[in-house]
A and B are shown apart, each in its own frame.
Chain A
């Protein structure tokens, strides 16, 4: 291969480093107006009255919108259509949008916000999941599984209690994973306008233009064909721009009503309110093991603090229980998960979506198991690593597995055996592993169509244009598109123009989420390019008298493999093909393989293939102050094949960076004022200064190992890298802290004060740990019993009600990815 696997300057690098990339907020249109949102100042209330008359009269104000203008709800998941662009009768957290002012400039719009009078009737507030479980009334939403429970699930794959009875040891641990947010450098921004034909155009920093397109058509009641959504390059997304957002709907409505372009750029506080970030999760792990380290059974319980809206929460809930079986052999598995509503910004998908929390618990518990069994934690994992081409207990079909090699590579690189339990007091190393999807196997809404489509236009000049709905969020998807096409056609990547993320121009790609783009768009691009290559080969074959299968496409030429001098330039090949067939355009598309799961909930977790990672973190912990320093991280990632290695390494290092933030300092926390004095419940510090995310000075040295065993399911063998390498780092930090100083910190962030508290507990003869004390009693629903494949199961639950009248399995219909 000439392009794939070789380090290359990414196609959008020049525009980025010279400041020429046009982000949404860079768009300036003639006659453009500016929008600001009035957000709720109370955490939970009925909206009694909104009087905008003074704001409407303010000089420079063109329009004020309120909830009355947006009667139709929307939401990313078909099962959670619980958002209105502006509050209709209820606000559910401080920051919930209530009204919008469209004015000649931002300052005028801001001033007018203060002229809108809103009368609220306060309601009881829920700050903590335990409060939401304890009180059914008032309900934050009028839907959900019960009271303030949004979603509650219980699944069993085999007889877990019997598995515990068979075990030599049963371990039970509780963990807490604090919520945190994406913190993209670019705040969300959007510009809406009517084009000269009167059709609506929205430019927005979104990861999912297709889903925004659908939401706009629904909530604005406009024909989808009259709406064009253009995803501008995102200055970071990480999952935080994957929902349709209030501000997008509002500027569209305003542009339609005023027939003038309307822009909004959120400020940093508002980005914290959009959130959709990591769910705070309390979890309980119960694992049965034999003396040799093999796992007999696993039970995982999770309680998710969902915040005020559904968002992706149903999927997030299932994800906290989906991927445990993908890394290690687990013959019997039970998962029970519960997501509740609270009066805080909605949680949703952040890099790793629902899986980092339970991965944190699982990998720390394995460290505890290894110590008790006196097995090296790396050896323990090598003994129980899942097998390739396996169907897991919960019906996930695994492709290739590079996890064992990841463990070997990373332990070699870090000189693990010389360091683990051998470093001086205060220094330690910790190991953890993980796995992640290479794309969700199911779309957000049920349909039988491809998940990604690519269209190619071949030009007589030798240039190629590749059209795809995928969205460049900084991860390098445009480069993947161009690289795949150029490799197949034997031309230079710079000869290919990528046109992406535009619902008018590009075929649908579901969006930049679930680590799906490289695999799905890549496969679609290869198919489109191969179809184009076939046409060109046929034409060149006729011209040169060389059999088509002997023709090679490389170095901008098409030539005879046996006589390389016999050939034509690529541009001539296009001309020959155009003369023979007419205009040359081809398409390719990709649909993931059908999942083996047939039970309700089985829609979350399936993926064409899974990536694997292993990380070792070194820490220094000061016993006097609890101060933590991370000098080095070693990480190995099973990428299948690195399409452009610097981009892969960039994703790995970026994951380590984000992971260390989550492990050591980041937390989306809230402040309730003394109830006798105030009803306030506010984000503690919605600012980039006080929400602590690491700076470049806080970054350790990172040593990255790429494990490349091409997976036939991926484009040129590639798997994902955008999310997986984040996952092992947090538990590896916790395990390293234990190695350094002998205390367990069973929650993130791991901070110096928690270390001192654990050391104090140890000194007082109490358990040497800091973490949650227990998991609440939750009234779980009847457990769906799904016999695993090795017990003759066929993927169905044996006690699931028959609901096949619609002709589809309930699983795929109800549960989104």
Chain B
């Protein structure tokens, strides 16, 4: 089997202790929570930190509290998030996204903070050391070129976290904590459209919490495209959220696409076009076309890129129809192989 490389493991008990450790260690230090993304990457030598700071003993990162909205500690597992009735009742898109991450055993270990920081993915990069050596590596690790598009000056690895488009659509913010202080930013601000430098988080910062605003009158949905009913990362994620008036007019809306670029893609103009409208078939179709238009999937995930581009509008359509209140259970069952209700 593949073995982990040697590394130093540090186990702080408080956020403060973790932040201080992070501040005074060298650059090749990484944080680890559930380890479901990082440890396999380490076995494949995609990431080879000399030191890991483990967050599993930091109790203050594992709470979910309500107040004005909901605050979720970064080390809350996806399984715990799914069990939370407030999440399930009020933040449907997040619940549906988390429910489709990987498999039950991985959701038992994987955390919301880990999913936010998930390494970008690419078929040329997510390979073991020997395979990457056979292509002379790529610019994301040990090499010089992006094999997806050899003329590209930047890495085109794909943002593949299911919860991220959902959190963007729900208007979530996150807390970043360092030894120097705390700052709160919108989730969208955490990401940069660059497969290597995909997070704006400073090296000494820890994602400590996710805040979901109160969303009275909002409905949301997340639709995930992948080959199988479990296990697979998204090759397209569509999160949509809208606040509707009592008589069905859209007051506010967001549509966010995942897994088609190195960062989540906020389809603002498509969502803006919904405002003041009823969610008729025509209105939904126009928004779906608008949302799909700027997307440029590359040939570095499962499925062919042309087909992935072509079905974006269908998945936006599914999400908006579900928000409208259509009975989508049959489509869900066929696409997601589960009901997600």
Contact = CB atoms under 8 A, between A and B. Distances in A.
Contacts of B4: 107
Given A106-B1, A687-B126, A689-B231, 19 more contacts: A41-B130, A41-B134, A107-B4, A107-B6, A622-B334, A665-B227, A677-B145, A678-B135, A680-B135, A684-B123, A694-B228, A696-B230, A697-B228, A697-B338, A698-B229, A752-B311, A753-B303, A753-B304, A753-B307
25 contacts: A107-B4, A110-B2, A267-B128, A622-B334, A625-B311, A673-B147, A674-B150, A678-B135, A678-B136, A680-B136, A682-B134, A682-B135, A683-B131, A684-B123, A685-B127, A686-B127, A689-B231, A690-B123, A692-B228, A695-B230, A696-B230, A697-B229, A697-B337, A752-B307, A756-B310
A205 interface: no
A269 B128 contact: yes
A274 interface: no
A110 B3 contact: yes
Residue of B130, B229, B230 with most partner-chain A CB within 10 A: B130
Nearest to A684: B123
Interface residues of B, number: 39
Given A680-B134, A697-B229, A629 B2 contact: no
The 8 closest A-B pairs by CB, nearest first: A697-B229, A753-B307, A629-B334, A697-B337, A41-B134, A107-B3, A695-B230, A692-B227
Contacts of B134: 41-42, 94, 680, 682
Interface in B117-131: 123, 126-128, 130-131
Given A267-B1, A680-B136, A682-B131, A753 B306 contact: yes
Contacts of B304: 753
Contacts of A665: 227-228
A267 B128 CA distance: 10
Contact of B230 (A674, A697, A753): A697
A624 interface: yes
Nearest to A273: B130
A694 B226 CA distance: 12
A695 B229 CA distance: 7
Contact of B1 (A94, A265, A626, A678): A265
Nearest to B337: A697
A677 B150 contact: yes
A397 B135 CA distance: 51
A696 B310 CA distance: 28
A202 to B, nearest CB: 20
Contacts of B306: 753
Interface in A686-725: 686-687, 689-690, 692, 694-698
Nearest to A106: B3
A622 B309 CA distance: 16
Contacts of B303: 751-753
B232 interface: yes
Interface string B303-333: 1101100110010000000000000000001
A551 B335 CA distance: 62
Contacts of B3: 106-107, 110
A683 B307 CA distance: 22
B133 interface: yes
B127 A687 contact: yes
B150 to A, nearest CB: 6
A106 B337 CA distance: 39
A626 B307 contact: yes
Contacts of A683: 131
A696 B232 CA distance: 13
B123 A625 contact: no
Contacts of A674: 150
Interface in B99-133: 123, 126-128, 130-131, 133
Nearest to B147: A673
A75 B128 CA distance: 28
Q: Identify which of B1, B134, B304 gathers the most chain A CB atoms within 10 Å of its CB.
A: B134
A39 B130 contact: yes
A620 B334 contact: yes
Contacts of A587: none
A627 B228 CA distance: 12
A229 B131 CA distance: 32
A817 interface: no
Contact count band on A = 35 or more
Interface in A643-685: 665, 673-674, 677-678, 680, 682-685
B302 interface: yes
A66 interface: no
Prevailing SS type, chain B contact patch: loop
Contacts of A512: none
A269 B45 CA distance: 14
A246 to B, nearest CB: 15
A541 interface: no
A595 interface: no
A29 B96 CA distance: 48
A47 to B, nearest CB: 15
A515 interface: no
Interface in B218-277: 227-233
Contacts of B337: 695, 697-698
Contacts of A684: 123
Contacts of A327: none
A678 B334 CA distance: 41
Contacts of B126: 687, 689-690
A400 interface: no
A265 B126 CA distance: 22
Nearest to A680: B135
Interface in B277-313: 302-304, 306-307, 310-311
B228 A698 contact: yes
A78 to B, nearest CB: 33
Contacts of B6: 107
A452 B126 CA distance: 46
Interface in A64-116: 94, 106-107, 110
A692 B302 contact: yes
A187 interface: yes
A627 B1 contact: no
Contacts of B133: 41
A751 B304 CA distance: 10
Nearest to B3: A107
B1 A269 contact: no
A689 B233 CA distance: 9
Contacts of A751: 303
A540 B3 CA distance: 62
Contacts of A39: 130
Nearest to A25: B1
A683 B335 CA distance: 28
B150 A627 contact: no
Question: Max chain B CB contacts within 10 Å: which of A665, A673, A683?
Answer: A673
B309 to A, nearest CB: 11
B2 A689 contact: no
A103 B77 CA distance: 38
Contacts of A269: 128, 130-131
A250 B232 CA distance: 36
A695 B231 contact: yes
Nearest to A40: B134
Interface string B158-193: 000000000000000000000000000000000000
Given A265-B1, A695-B231, A624 B314 contact: yes
A285 B316 CA distance: 43
Contacts of B314: 624-625
Contacts of B229: 695, 697-698
A673 B135 CA distance: 8
A627 B128 contact: no
Contacts of B302: 690, 692
Interface in A735-789: 751-753, 756
A649 B338 CA distance: 26
A47 B17 CA distance: 54
B6 to A, nearest CB: 8
Nearest to B304: A753
B227 A187 contact: no
B1 A187 contact: yes
